[in-house]
Amino acid sequence: MPTNFPTGLRSRGKPIEGTTGDPGLTLGDVFWVDSGHTNADDDNSGKVSSQPLSTLDAAIGKCTATNGDLIYIAPGHTETLSSAGALTLDVAGVTIIGMGSGNSRPTFTLDTAATTDIEVTAADVRIYNCIFSMNYADIVQVFDLSADGFTLDGCEIVDTATNMNFVDMIKCTTTDNQCDRITVNDCVIISPDTGNDAVIEIGGDCDRLTFTNNYIRLGVADSEAVLSVATGKDVTNCLIAGNYVYRLNTAGDLLIDSDTTNNTGIAAHNRIGHADTSGEVLIDADGIRQFDNTGTATNTASGYPLPAIDS
């Protein structure tokens, strides 16, 4: 039917394609990445979809910091990363959007060495709708994070086979507040290996962590929480909500583990299936207020509130 925008939505004369909603709107430059395109080449400008770049790294290299630049990655795009820092996200304010659905989403495979990772060294990098696949045993971290404002939204982190896994999905620097404003939302994280530790290992004080609406399945690793906070460090103004966790640990704190009393924020509506039949603790972070969190170690029973409902 006719619309008021017959040539499509444009920003500074550049068409916005492939997404709806805020992530696809920009006043910055737009770049295209498509390894499967006939004309794909890292020497292209990448500014039109018919002349795309071959790799995300090349697109990052063409972006301008804090310009609001946007990178679209085509359905079916694949890259293999085989060393530490093989991909470094070092330009601030860049948004990366994977196009496609299901297994047609852009896929980044980490292999060859346990030290293979993606380094995030610039602030406010956002990644949407991509798959990150582990193809090596005990990859130390998928994302080596040393900047604030990092976002993963609608992504999938999976193993290619048994014993191909990550240890930590995101590993933060130990510098206080260098990794503030982490957001992990609406992600599927499946890595059921005994080598798993945490989804996020928080090394320093962290403000405004948002961890919401994720499905998580990890292997048994007693005393390893999904969100692990270093000794003496605080998580403040956090929102940990709506997560579904399947991890059959028999001991230890399950969702978040902090040993300080200065944490602040809300943990609500989280559901955790575990195997601790003696003294399960879903959330151990004094100062965080808890609402409607449930867990169970029994196959045939529904989860019950943990901790107990306040009177």
Query: What's the first-to-final CA gap in the chain, in angstroms?
Result: 57
**Burial environment of residue 46 by CB neighbours within 10 A (0 to 12, 13 to 18, 19 or more):** buried
Residue 180 in contact with residue 150, Cβ under 8 Å?
A: no
**Burial environment of residue 262 by CB neighbours within 10 A (0 to 12, 13 to 18, 19 or more):** middle
Percentage above 90 pLDDT, the chain = 86
pLDDT at 13: 36
Question: What is the distance between the alpha carbons of residues 129 and 152, in angstroms, rounded to a whole number?
Answer: 8
Average confidence (pLDDT) over 233-244: 98
Give strand pairing partners of 69: none
pLDDT at 124: 98
pLDDT at 265: 98
Average confidence (pLDDT) over 153-182: 96
Mean pLDDT score across all residues of the chain: 92
Using the predicted structure, report yes or no on whether residue 12 has a pLDDT greater than 60. no
**Burial environment of residue 311 by CB neighbours within 10 A (0 to 12, 13 to 18, 19 or more):** exposed
Q: Which residue has the higher pLDDT, 169 or 15?
A: 169
Largest CA distance in the chain: 66
pLDDT at 279: 86
Helix, coil or strand: residue 273: strand
Give strand pairing partners of 191: 218
| pTM as predicted | 0.91
As its CATH architecture, domain 18-305 has: 3 Solenoid (2.160)
pLDDT at 27: 82
**Beta-carbon contacts of residue 91 (< 8 Å; ≥ 6 apart):** 60, 61, 63, 64, 65, 69, 122, 125
